Amino acid sequence: MIAAIDMKSMLPPADKLWAIGARLAIALVIAFVVQRLLFMVWARMARFLVRTADDERVATQRVSTISQVIRNTITVVVMVFTLFYVLELLGWDVKPLLAGAGIVGVALGFGAQTLVRDWIAGVFILVENQFGVGDVIEYNGRAATVEYIQLRSTRLRDQQGYVYFVPNGEFKTVVNRTRGWNRLPVDVRVRTGQDLDRALEKCREVAREMSADPAWQDRLLESVQVMGVERLGADALIRLTVRAKPGPHAADAARELRRRLHHALTTAGIEYPPNVLPVGIEPDSTL
C-alpha cells in the first residue's frame, strides 16, 4: 500500500509561518514593483528610439512590434525568479529543480526542433526589422497586412479579411511592400492607326497636371514620369510610372492617373482598347 504523503513535512514549522508569510508578501510586492520599473525603463527607451530615428513612422512601427515581446519577456523572467525565491522560503531545495529543468530543456530541444526554429526565426525578424505590425507583405504569393508578431508565429490578414497564423520559420523570402517607397507602372494601349505623338502629348499633360496638384504632392515622391512607347505591334503601349510613399499611396495615385488619362484621351478622341488580363490573373487590389 502506498504511504500517504505527509504534507506537514513539506511545509515549514508553524512558528515560522508568519515570518515566511510576511517575507512572501514582501517578495510579491517587490516583484510587482520590479516588473513595473522595467516596463517604465522600456517605455522610456522606446520613446528615445522614436525621437532619435531618421524615420519616425518606421521607428514607431518597429517599437510597437517588439514592445509586446519585451513586456512578455520581462513578465516571465520576473515570475520565474519570484517562484524560485518563494520555493526557497518554503524550505525547498531548488537546485534539483534547476538541474531537472536543464535536462527537460535539452529533451524539448531535440523533440521540438521546429518550435525552436520558429523562435529563432522570430528573433531574427525582430532584430533585422524585416517587417513590422502594419506592413503589407507577400506570403505564398498573396499580399496581407501584419497584425501581430510573436516569437513563434505571425498573424496576417489579407484583403478579403481572412486571417493567417504563420509560423515564423515558414518565412523564407519576404516581400515587404511598405518600406521606403513604391513605384507602379500605368500602361496605356493605343490602337493602331491613332496619332501616337498626340497620345504621348496628352499623357505628358496629364502627368504634369497631376504632379502639380496640391492634393497629390504630399503623397508623390517625384513627378509622374512618362517613360514613352514601351511596345509596338497590334497596339502601341505607352508607359507611365508613379513613385510614392509606402503603403496605399502608389496604388491610389495609379488609380487616379488612370482616371485622368481616360478622361483626357477620350476627350481628345484617341481610341484605346481595354487592358485585358490573361485568364487566371486577377488585378492586384491589396493596397
Q: What does the chain come to in residues?
A: 287
Do the Cβ atoms of 34 and 78 come closer than 8 Å?
yes
Pairwise CA distance, residues 134 & 253, whole Å: 20
Pairwise CA distance, residues 66 & 125, whole Å: 10
* Angle in degrees, 0-180, between the axes of helices 17-52 and 56-89, rounded to the nearest 10: 170
**Over the stretch 13-42, which tens digit does the pLDDT of each residue have?**
666 667 777 888 888 888 899 989 998 998
Name which of 86, 275, 76 is nearest 185 in CA terms. Answer: 275
Distances from the Cα of 257 to the Cαs of 56, 99, 191, 224, 285, in angstroms?
29, 67, 20, 9, 15
pLDDT at 108 over 80: no
- Give residue 161's region: left, alpha or beta (phi > 0; psi -120 to 50): left
Do the Cβ atoms of 186 and 265 come closer than 8 Å?
no
Helix (H, G, I), strand (E, B) or coil at 119: helix
Q: Which residues contact 237 (CB under 8 A, 6 or more apart)?
A: 187, 188, 189, 190, 229, 230, 231
Helix (H, G, I), strand (E, B) or coil at 55: coil
Round the average pLDDT of the chain to a whole number and report it: 78
Q: Can you give the pLDDT at residue 109? A: 59
Where is average pLDDT lowest: 24-33, 54-63, 189-198, 249-258?
54-63
Q: Which three cell numbers stand for residue 192?
A: 493602331
Written as one letter, the residue type at 4 is: A
Which ranges in the chain belong to alpha helices (H)? Answer: 7-10, 17-52, 56-89, 95-111, 113-127, 196-212, 214-217, 249-267
Name which of 248, 240, 168 is nearest 200 in CA terms. Answer: 240
**Over the stretch 111-136, which tens digit does the pLDDT of each residue have?**
567 777 888 888 888 878 888 888 88
Do the Cβ atoms of 253 and 177 come closer than 8 Å?
no
**Over the stretch 236-263, which tens digit does the pLDDT of each residue have?**
888 899 888 877 888 888 999 989 998 8
Domain ranges for the chain: 12-111, 125-176, 182-267
Do the Cβ atoms of 125 and 44 come closer than 8 Å?
no
CATH topology for 12-111 is Helix Hairpins (1.10.287)
Do the Cβ atoms of 33 and 50 come closer than 8 Å?
no
**Is domain 182-267 given the CATH code 3.30.70.100 in the classification?**
yes
Residues 125-176, CATH architecture: Roll (2.30)
CA 232 to chain centre: 41
